[in-house]
Amino acid sequence: MLGLGRKLLLTRPAWWLVLILALLPLLHLVWLTWQDGLGANPAEYLIRATGDWTLRGLCLGLAITPLRVQLGWPELARFRRMLGLLTYLYACLHLVCYALFDMGLDVQEILLDVPKRPFIWLGVSAWFLLSVMAATSFNRAVRWLGGARWQALHRVVFAVAALAVLHFWWMRAAKSNFNEVLVYGAILGALLAWRLQRAWRKRRQRAAAQATSAT
């Protein structure tokens, strides 16, 4: 049964199913907008919702490697790029909603607002780093950069996650409401701790192997 589940993950329908599930929040927002169901402050609802789904996408993307290793399901890796690009889509929508609804698409006002409000600056910085990752997420970029440099570049996702949580925290600081921030921070902290522990274990294993070969 377990082997069948792993084989199903390699099928095209499984890929499409994950894609559709990841796009459901966006389709839901479009439906609510069409039905005038965004509440008393539609602009705030859209800005908040797209930001929330960006954070959730970051959590899901970062969870793939731990799940793949712990479950022994290497097939999960095929969904990582798609989830990363969809996370970037939600981040772009979050930025567009801010620029459109908060700033009226006034470029000059946006350029003045970004450095003036620290949480906006943090969010824009996270978006910029995500843009670099999205632009180099394709096979041609991997070949051009080389595998080691590409992997090093894409470790910037941890900086993106940290900036995103700080962006959320700073925004919530005005309302002194940190419950959701703590949840996202705990999830991302646990995922980062798993990565650091794994890297430390691999380093110890390499050191032990070198010591053994030297004797």
d(CA 128, CA 91): 10
Residue that has been written with the tokens 């192997």 in this structure: 209
Burial of 84-111, coded b for 16+ CB within 10 Å and e otherwise, reads: bbbbbbbbbbbbebbbebbbeeeeeebe
Closest CA to 102 of 125, 87, 126, 119: 119
State what percent of residues in the chain have pLDDT above 70.
95
Asked if the model's pLDDT at residue 2 lies above 60, the reply is: no
pLDDT at 4: 58
Packing angle of the helix pair 107-116, 118-135 (nearest 10 deg): 110
pLDDT score, position 214? 64
Provide the pLDDT confidence category of residue 94 given band limits of 50, 70 and 90.
very high
The mean pLDDT value of the chain amounts to: 88
| pLDDT of residue 54 exceeding 80 | yes
Contact present, 133 and 157 (Cβ < 8 Å): yes
- Is the Cβ–Cβ distance between 169 and 120 less than 8 Å? no
What confidence tens digit (pLDDT) does each residue in 169-180 have?
888 776 677 788
Give the Cα separation of 162 and 157 in Å (integer).
9
Structure tokens at 173: 């600081």
Specify the length of the chain in residues: 215
CA 8 – CA 147 distance, rounded (Å): 28
Helix (H, G, I), strand (E, B) or coil at 58: helix
Local structure of residue 79 (DSSP, 8 states)? G
Higher pLDDT, 137 or 214: 137
Domains of the chain: 2-197 (1.20.120)
Query: Which tens digits make up the pLDDT trace of 184-205?
Result: 989 988 998 898 888 888 888 8
| pLDDT the model gives residue 59 | 92
What's the predicted TM-score (pTM) here?
0.90
Q: What is the mean pLDDT of residues 116-122?
A: 89
Q: What is the dihedral of CA 181, 184, 187, 190, to 10 degrees?
A: -50
Tell me the pLDDT tens digit for each residue of 125-164: 999 999 999 999 888 888 888 878 888 888 889 899 999 9
